[in-house]
Amino acid sequence: MQKATIITALVGTIVLAFASLLYFDAKNPSTSGISTIGIEAAHAEEHQEYTCGMHPFIIRSEPGNCPICQMALTPVKSGGAAAATQPPGERKIKYWVAPMDPSYIRDQPGKSPMGMDLVPVYEDQAVIGQLIDIDPVTRQNMGVRSERVRSRDLHRTIRTVGVVGYEEPKQYSVNSKIDGWIEKLYVNETGGVVKTGQPLLEIYSPQLVAAQEEYLLALRNKASLANSTVSGIAAGAARLLDSSRKRLKYWDISDRQIAAIEQNDEASKTLILHAPYDGIVTLKNVSEGMFAKAGMELFKIADISKVWVYADIYEYELPWVKIGQEVRVQLPYQSEEIIGRISTIYPYVEQRTRTVKARIDLDNRDFELKPDMYVNVRIKSEAAKNVLSIPVEAVLNSGERQTVFVEREQGKFEPRLIKTGLQDENGYLEIVQGLLADELVVTSAQFMLDSESTLREAIQKMLEPKNNNQAPQPAGPSELDDLFTDPAENQELELESLFN
C-alpha cells in the first residue's frame, strides 16, 4: 500500500514538471519549436493594420476611428485582408465605391449619389465579407462555373389571358320618367339588335294624358288670344304654351309625337319609348301589362361594335408593359390574331388575383368578340437596349439584399452586393449597380461559396477579443490544468509517452 502511494506521488510530480516545462517553453520562444509562431506573431504586430467593421475598404496603419461612421477601427485579422502583407506601392485599384452604398461602383473616381467622394477598392480587398481562396482541384470538385458580365438587349414577351368586356361609354339604360302600365312591347327578348329611334314599348300613364290635354288647351288659348289688344295677354298665352311643351319633352315625348298631337288635336292614350342608341339588348326587366314606376330600369342596351379586352398582368411583369404597346389577341377557336394596342393600365391591383388590368381597345364589326369571352393575349415589350446583365442563377437573393460572387485571379472569389432591374425571358437579369463590364461572376456552386464566406465571418467574430485594445494573454496554469482533468486515469499513458 505504501509502495503504491509512492508510485502515485512520483507520477504526479513528473506530470506537473512536464506541464511546467511546456508552459515556460511557450513563454520562451528561443527554447522550443513554438518560437516560430511567436516570431510570426511579433512580425504581424509590427505591421498591424486596422479596418472598420462596417466599411472594410477603410484600411489604416494606426488605430483610430472610421472617417465615415466614426466607429473604432479593429485590427485586421490574419488572412482577412491581404493588404497587410502587400507593399502599398504595388497595390492596384480594382474599382471605386460609394462609402455609404457598397453596391454603387464605378471604374473611375467621382462622386456618389449622396455627394460623397468615391473610395478606391484595391485588388486585394473585398467590399463585403472575406476573399475566398479555392485551389483548382477543389473548384473542379465543387463544379464552379463562371460567366462574364456583358451588355445585352433584354426583351420579354408576356403571355396572359384576357376577358372581353363592353365598351363602358356605349352602355345605356332605358327607363320611364313617369309611372304607368306597359301596354305593348316592340322588343320582347334579350340579345336583339336595335337601332336609334326604333320603338321599344308603349306605356299608358294618366299623368301623361293630362299633360297632353293641358298642352292642347294652351295651344287653343294662344290661338284665341293672339289678336287681343290687351297688353301682355298674348305674351302670357305664348309662355303657357311653351311651358306645356317643355313638360312633354322632359317626359321623353319626341317632337314628332308632339306634332302628331297638334295635328290630331287629340291626346294620345299611350307614349311610345324609342331606343336612344344603336346596340343589342343585354337586359330586359319589363313584360306586357306590368306596372312600371318612374325611374325603373326597363332595358339595357350596349353597343358592341367596339369592345374592351382586359388582360391580367402580374406585378413582376409591370415594368415591361407600357401604354401604346402593340398587342396580339387570339380567339380560342381560331388561329388568326387581332392586333390592338394598350390604351389604359389601371392604377390598382385586383385583390383576389393580385394582378393589374391592362385594357386593349378592339374593333368588333362582325361581333366575333363576345362579352365575357376568354381570349389569349400576347404582349411583346420593347427591348431594354445595351444594358449590363448576368444569368439570373448567379444571384443569391436573401430578400433584403442580392449578392453575387466575383471571380478574381488565382482562384479568389469576392462576395459583392448588387442591385438588379429587369429580368428577360431568356434568364438574364439587368445589373443596375454593383458590377463592371467583363467581370466574371459565379453561376453555379455559389451556395457553397456563400456558406464558406459566412463560416469564416462567424469564426472571426468568435475569435475577436472582448477588448480590441488589450493584447491576448498566453494560457495560464488553470487552462493547462484543463488538459489534465483526470491524471489518475491517464498516468500510465503519460509515463509511456515520457520515457519513449
Which ranges in 28-115 belong to alpha helices (H)? 35-46
- Predicted confidence at residue 455, as pLDDT, reads 58
Whether pLDDT at 40 is above 60: no
- Predicted confidence at residue 48, as pLDDT, reads 74
Helix, strand, coil in percent for the chain, rounding step 5: 30, 35, 35
Interatomic CA distance for residues 327 and 380, integer angstroms: 7
The stretch 272-284 carries a mean pLDDT of: 90
- The b-or-e profile of 265-291 (16+ CB within 10 A means b, else e) is eeebebbbbbbbebbbbbebebeeeee
The stretch 163-175 carries a mean pLDDT of: 92
Residues 441, 406 contacting (CB under 8 angstroms): yes
Whether pLDDT at 125 is above 80: no
- Predicted confidence at residue 90, as pLDDT, reads 65
Q: Where are the beta strands (DSSP E) in 346-459?
A: 355-363, 374-380, 384-391, 396-397, 402-407, 412-423, 428-433, 440-444
Which is higher by pLDDT, 369 or 136?
369
Surface-to-core class of residue 74, CB atoms within 10 Å of its CB (0-12 exposed, 13-18 middle, 19+ buried)? middle
Surface-to-core class of residue 336, CB atoms within 10 Å of its CB (0-12 exposed, 13-18 middle, 19+ buried)? exposed
Question: What is the pTM assigned to this prediction?
Answer: 0.60
Backbone angles phi, psi at 22, to 5 degrees: -60, -40
CA atoms within 13 A on the CB side of 173: 8
The stretch 475-482 carries a mean pLDDT of: 41
- Predicted confidence at residue 252, as pLDDT, reads 79
Closest CA to 484 of 15, 82, 153, 143: 15
Binned at pLDDT 50, 70 and 90, residue 472 comes out as: very low
> What CATH fold (topology level) applies to the domain 157-167+303-380?
Elongation Factor Tu (Ef-tu); domain 3 (2.40.30)
- Predicted confidence at residue 77, as pLDDT, reads 56
Mean pLDDT value across the chain: 77
User: What pLDDT, in 10s, does the model give residues 371-395?
Assistant: 999 999 999 888 788 889 999 988 8
Binned at pLDDT 50, 70 and 90, residue 481 comes out as: very low
- Predicted confidence at residue 300, as pLDDT, reads 93
- Predicted confidence at residue 271, as pLDDT, reads 85
> What CATH fold (topology level) applies to the domain 132-152+384-457?
2.40.420
Look up residue 271 and give its three cell numbers. 307614349
For residue 458, the surrounding DSSP H or E stretch is: helix 446-463
- Predicted confidence at residue 124, as pLDDT, reads 66
- Predicted confidence at residue 56, as pLDDT, reads 65
- Predicted confidence at residue 452, as pLDDT, reads 60
Q: Give every CB contact of residue 313 below 8 A, 6+ residues apart in sequence.
A: 158, 160, 321, 345, 355, 356, 357, 358
User: What pLDDT, in 10s, does the model give residues 289-342?
Assistant: 999 998 899 999 999 999 999 999 999 889 889 999 999 999 988 878 899 999
Which is higher by pLDDT, 117 or 349?
349
Look up residue 459 and give its three cell numbers. 469564426
3-state secondary structure of 148: strand
- Predicted confidence at residue 75, as pLDDT, reads 79
Binned at pLDDT 50, 70 and 90, residue 166 comes out as: very high
Which is higher by pLDDT, 429 or 496?
429
Interatomic CA distance for residues 384 and 157, integer angstroms: 13
Q: Of 293-297, 322-326, 431-435, 487-491, which gets the smallest average pLDDT?
A: 487-491
CATH architecture of the domain 177-295 equals Beta Barrel (2.40)
Whether pLDDT at 259 is above 80: yes
The stretch 459-485 carries a mean pLDDT of: 47
Angle, vertex CA 438, rays to CA 388 and CA 132, nearest 5 = 110
Q: Residue 85: which region, alpha, beta or left (left: phi > 0; alpha: psi -120 to 50)?
A: alpha
3-state secondary structure of 320: helix
Whether pLDDT at 46 is above 80: no
Residues 302, 279 contacting (CB under 8 angstroms): yes
Whether pLDDT at 253 is above 50: yes
- Predicted confidence at residue 44, as pLDDT, reads 45
Binned at pLDDT 50, 70 and 90, residue 370 comes out as: very high
Q: Give every CB contact of residue 189 below 8 A, 6+ residues apart in sequence.
A: 281, 284
Whether pLDDT at 442 is above 50: yes
Binned at pLDDT 50, 70 and 90, residue 251 comes out as: confident
User: What pLDDT, in 10s, does the model give residues 403-417?
Assistant: 888 888 777 888 888
Residues 415, 396 contacting (CB under 8 angstroms): no
Q: Residue 279: which region, alpha, beta or left (left: phi > 0; alpha: psi -120 to 50)?
A: left
List the chain domain ranges.
1-33+470-500, 132-152+384-457, 157-167+303-380, 177-295
Cα radius of gyration rounded to whole Å, the chain: 45
- Predicted confidence at residue 17, as pLDDT, reads 47
The stretch 395-407 carries a mean pLDDT of: 85
- Predicted confidence at residue 462, as pLDDT, reads 59
Which is higher by pLDDT, 354 or 120?
354
Which is higher by pLDDT, 444 or 494?
444
3-state secondary structure of 214: helix
Whether pLDDT at 227 is above 60: yes
Angle, to 10 degrees, between the axis of helix 206-225 and the axis of helix 233-250? 160
Residues 112, 100 contacting (CB under 8 angstroms): yes
- Predicted confidence at residue 314, as pLDDT, reads 93
